[in-house]
Structure 1
Amino acid sequence: MQAPMPTPEQISTVDLASWTVVPSQSNPDKDERGPWAVTAGDGEQYSLYFEIADTAYPRQVAEFIVEAVQAHATQLRLSSAFDDVLHERERLRAHPAGADLYELGRGRVVAMMAQLGKLAAEAYETAPAPERAAQERRIYAEVTQLAAQAVSWMEAIHARYGIDT
């Protein structure tokens, strides 16, 4: 019996780092031209399993799928993070003290490093299970703010010195 294709909902619930390519159950000898499977999930029971069989190079097709899905998901996460930084940068610039964002004074750098140190310490402290999601959201918001400040300083350097990238 052939397994059904996974739905987007199933795919989005599985840790992308766990995606791998394995010989299918009907290919115990790991024949390159035999069926191969894309799997994901932890443990003996995969959360996601589908076979690639009717092609000249099933293993390469399966590897391509895994690499493409991981690259696409990475790009989506990165794009989302950059969008959040841009939104925070605009929010900070709209604040009355927003013009100061472009000034890279010693006090600002020291404050940023101190904030980064606190975040690093907090990130390594495991919060009780009911508080973990709130802790992650708080850390993410603070990292986003630091990144927005860093981007503003980069813009200021570009403006002052005409650095081309």
Structure 2
Amino acid sequence: MQNPIPVPEQIGTVDLASWTVIPGQSNPNKDDHGAWAVTAGDVEQYDLYFEVADAARPRQVAEFIVEAVQAHATRLRLGAAFADVERKREGLRTKPPGADLYEGDRSRVVAMMAQLGKLAAEAYEPAPAAERDAQRQRVYDGVTEVAALAVCWLEAHHAQYGIDGG
């Protein structure tokens, strides 16, 4: 039997889209005031399963839990992605000497699109099993750099045309 109390690691490792609310095992008639379960993972054998029973509205409590976990995990993941882009952006601002990384001219856009094409080609072709982690990291690093360059160009636009982007 699985531990009925979820641990924080389960939130990060189970696909957020798989989190759902189902009638609890003791609630086959789907009574709103009967037990409702929060599940996540593979439908055949859930990675996470716990029931909400001792509440005035168990189904609403379970739905709230799912929505809250999904929102929280999304914020954490988005924050981590933005932090990676910001670190890369700071690195780009320090090199190369004399380069205007805030310049948003057409050549930079063309270069960014070419880099995206290379990344797409690498991501499309599956690497051998032994190289998948390294490939995934290269693609992530490349996308992070493209995102950092795009942020620099957006900053240049705001510097030239004002904060409202007009």
TM interval, shorter chain, is over 0.9
How far has the Cα of 1:114 moved from its partner?
A: 0.8
Counterparts of residues 94-105 of structure 1 (less than 5 Å): 94-97=94-97, 99-105=99-105
Q: Is the 8 A contact 1:35 1:58 kept in 2?
A: yes
Equivalent residue, structure 1, for 2:148? 148
TM (norm. structure 1) is 0.92
Q: TM-score, normalised by structure 2?
A: 0.92
Name the CA distance, whole Å, in 1 between partners of 2:2 and 2:142. Answer: 47
5+ residue gaps, structure 1, are: none
The residue that corresponds to 1:64 in the other structure is 64
CA distance 1:90–1:3, change in 2 (3 Å) = closer
Task: State the secondary structure of the residue aligned to 2:85.
Answer: helix
Using the TM superposition, give the Cα deviation of residue 3 of structure 1 relative to its aligned residue in structure 2, in angstroms.
5.8
Query: Residue 3 and residue 90 in structure 1: after superposition, are their counterparts in 2 closer, same or farther (change >3 A)?
Result: closer
Structure 1 stretch 128-137 or stretch 23-32: which is displaced more? 128-137
**Worse overlay, 103-112 or 27-36:** 103-112
RMSD: 1.8
C-alpha displacement at 1:107, in angstroms? 1.9
Contact 2:103 2:156 in 1 (8 A): yes
1:133 corresponding residue in structure 2: 133
In structure 2, relative to structure 1, the CA distance for the partners of 1:45 and 1:160 (3 Å cut) is same
Q: Verify the 8 A CA contact 1:11 1:48 in the aligned structure 2.
A: no
Amino acid at match of 1:156: A
Classify 1:97/1:108 alpha carbon distance in 2 versus 1 (closer, same or farther; 3 Å): farther
Secondary structure at the aligned position of 1:100 is classed as coil
Percent of aligned pairs with the same amino acid: 73
Contact 2:11 2:73 in 1 (8 A): no
What residue ranges of structure 2 are gaps of 5+ in the alignment?
none
